[in-house]
Amino acid sequence: MVLTYHMQDVIMAGDGYLLVIVLDVHPQLAEQESIVHNYLSACISFANIHLASNVRNTLAVIAANHLETRFLYPQDTGEKVERQKDGRLELLCQVDESIEKELRRMMMHGGKAEQTESLLSGAIGRGLLYIKRQETEDVLGKKVHARILVIKISSDTGSQYLNYINTYLTAQKISTPIDVCVVGNDCGLLQQGADISGGYYHCIQEVSELLQCLILMYQADVGTRKKLNVPPMDSVDYRAACFCHRTLVEMGNVCSNCLSVYCKAVPLCSTCNVIFQTERPLMKIVKKKK
């Protein structure tokens, strides 16, 4: 067997990849204590695999619940990292401890919020900003080869529709693919993001399948993926969310001024305050006599 490599792929692999993991830690996860440990262990293990596979790979982990988004790693604490004596890499130990510590802090903050679903759109936006900041801070001004991986486990609605679309278009503009791995039911909004940005979307039913799925489908970088035979994506659900009830609709009314979608006819656009013309009976035009 003869293997051939493109020079561009070799260069990209040598530079390493920045992986931004957006982790869903909605309180719904705590209701199922039997899967919490497996879920978090799979995510942390995949982060360690990414760092261990290439010495130049970098990592960022952002958690999102229904109240806030928080960087779990990296953390600029200024604390000195003690050298490990059990043979484990110091970097991997630092990742594990940072993620565990910040998750505990995040779960300590109680309170109620009107927002019921995880703020994943905000976490994706913070991930995109982090990628751009790494590019601007680079001394040589090199392009950062980065991708975002969203791991979702909670239920969803269409309340963040505009936020999602804005982040997807931004990711497409800066050539950053958004990969999505959903545990449970399909998520149409995240499916749209993967298709728009050029990432992968896959849905699994059980948390026990998460680590295997992450390694097989999301470990490869963008250059290597072109050589892999991955399962084809099903038809993408491109339904829009109405601006009145935040639910996905197949047919609705669209404002001709700002393109806001409504599930039923309304007299006034809540986005741009344009007054819609009501239906009027057709009137016969009478010609004037000369």
Tens digit of each residue's pLDDT (9 = 90 or more) over 210-269: 999 999 889 988 778 777 777 776 677 777 777 777 777 778 888 877 778 888 888 888
Query: For helices 161-173 and 188-197, what crossing angle results, to 10°?
Result: 20
Q: What are phi and psi of 240, to 5 degrees?
A: -95, 160
Instruction: Kindly list the structural domains of the chain, giving each domain's residue range(s) and its CATH number in brackets, ordered by start.
Output: 7-225 (3.40.50.410), 239-290 (no CATH)
Cβ neighbours of residue 272 under 8 Å, at least 6 residues apart?
Answer: 255, 257, 258, 260
Q: What is the pTM of this model?
A: 0.80
Q: Strands, DSSP E only, in the chain?
A: 18-24, 58-64, 69-73, 146-152, 178-183, 201-204, 240-241, 248-249, 253-254, 261-262
Give per-residue pLDDT as tens, 10-49. 444 457 889 999 999 988 777 777 788 899 999 999 999 9
